Structure 1
Amino acid sequence: MGRFGASLARQLIESGYDVLAIDSDFRTVERRSAAIPNIVQLDSTNIEALREIGADCFDTAFVCIGTNFEANIMTTVSLRKLGVKHVIVKVRTRTQKEILLRIGADEVILPEHEAGVRLARRIAGNFVDFLEIGPDMCLVEIVCPERYVNHTLAEAELRRKYGLTVLAIRRGDTVISNPPADTKIEFGDELLVVGKLDDAERLSA
């Protein structure tokens, strides 16, 4: 279990989820056991071993094996055979992603690539933060352009002009959720909007 898998497990535990972590290396299990109490030493490519520890009882499985792509494939296939509802796999290349999707992974992530894309979007589009939530849809936190300062949301007409829906406004340490149409935009306000990426970039231009 590398840093990505360990961090993911800790975050899920802190969020109140039941987490069962697996690693084939006993030393890694010992090292991670303080932060991840329910961690076992196991060969995740062995379907019978997975069945014995009750892996088939979990709704979601994350496969974060790292450099051993063959183990990624075998573990994914085993989890699908066990009937795990949602299998998410971490890979290193686009080719690996295509292969894992073909053999049954529900979702495949490339953390390094996605982090780079997010950073580039933030720089190029003056985005505070950016998250893709579908093939043509994203959540974007953006500093509101000065041309809309002192206008209400109704006057700004962001939905009509850009197809963007404002979900919240961050104003300093205050967050205004589901702001009403008569909310006046102030200098420095950050808008959390949902819509198409191209439209968000047009707003920020």
Structure 2
Amino acid sequence: MGNYLHSLRKRRRKREADQHTQLGDQRVAVIGLGRFGSSLAHELMSRGWDVLGIDTDAHLVQKYSDALTHAAVADCTDPEVLRQLGVNDFTSAVVGIGTDIEASILITSNLLEAGVPNIWAKAISRQHGQILERLGAPHVVLPEHEMGERVAHLVTGRMLDFIQFDDDYALVKTVAPEVVTGMPLGESQVRSKYGVTVVGIKRAGEDFTYATAETVVVRADVIIVTGKTQAVEAFAELS
């Protein structure tokens, strides 16, 4: 198993290097046209991408066929099917299957074996995500978990929006607490006192703009703050 995973990762790295000049390729295969896959496919189409939508459910394929560049009824757990559909030549693919974990793993494995460099695989649990990561999937997303965590932060705090990244780092949109109002940000010493950085500011009736050391924050301003998750959470709770 270890040698097999190493082989998959080696092929993926080689294909990624070979296709480095094709990063402008705006084609993507979306495998699985459930709520997640179909929503993603529509968003990609709206951004001008060519989308090949694939599902084993003929009803779903028929439902979305007019909205996508191409659509096909196919079982991508068979690597030969991917080859016949031309997915092996794509630089981007999304595995949107969640309910059938075995199919998700097999399809991700097939895409890795084919050397598709940019693969996003949906996981329905942390365990599922760990399997996909160990397999070598470059990008694993847990939409339900991540959205639940995000909404929990919004419900329980003063944040207007919350996005968490890797390595315990987060970005928060919040109403400016009083401790940073009425003076330039450089004088408020936000970074040294609270361990966060104010990177953007929005005043009522105005657009968002970059924050600088000379920016003076006033009451009711909305600010964008970055830093370690615990630090931005604590800062957003200041009154």
Please classify the TM superposition score into its range, dividing by the shorter chain length: over 0.9
Residue 18 of structure 1: how far off its partner (Å): 2.6
TM-score if structure 2 supplies the norm length?
0.80
Equivalent residue letter for 2:213 = A
- The answer to whether structure 1 residue 189 and structure 2 residue 196 are counterparts is no
Equivalent residue letter for 1:184 = V
CA displacement 1:28-48 (0-9 Å, x = unmatched):
111011222322221111111
* Larger displacement relative to structure 2 (69-78 or 140-149): 140-149
Which residue is equivalent to 2:8?
none
- The answer to whether structure 1 residue 56 and structure 2 residue 88 are counterparts is yes
Which residue is equivalent to 1:103?
135
Contact 2:50 2:69 in 1 (8 A): no
Equivalent residue letter for 2:94 = F
> In structure 1, what is the Cα distance between the partners aligned to 2:106 and 2:142?
19
CA displacement 1:52-82 (0-9 Å, x = unmatched):
2221222222111121111101100000001
Residue 162 of structure 1: how far off its partner (Å): 2.4
Unaligned 5+ runs, structure 2? 1-32
> In structure 2, what is the Cα distance between the partners aligned to 1:62 and 1:173?
39
Which residue is equivalent to 2:187?
155
Q: Of 147, 160, 185, which aligns to 1:128?
A: 160
Higher relative contact order (CA 8 A, sep 6+): 2
- The answer to whether structure 1 residue 142 and structure 2 residue 174 are counterparts is yes
- The answer to whether structure 1 residue 21 and structure 2 residue 53 are counterparts is yes
Provide the identity percentage: 39
> In structure 1, what is the Cα distance between the partners aligned to 2:51 and 2:204?
36
Structure 1 residue runs of 4 or more that deviate by more than 3 Å after TM superposition = none
CA displacement 1:147-196 (0-9 Å, x = unmatched):
32222211222222223222211223423322232221122111112211
> In structure 1, what is the Cα distance between the partners aligned to 2:188 and 2:111?
49
TM-score if structure 1 supplies the norm length?
0.92
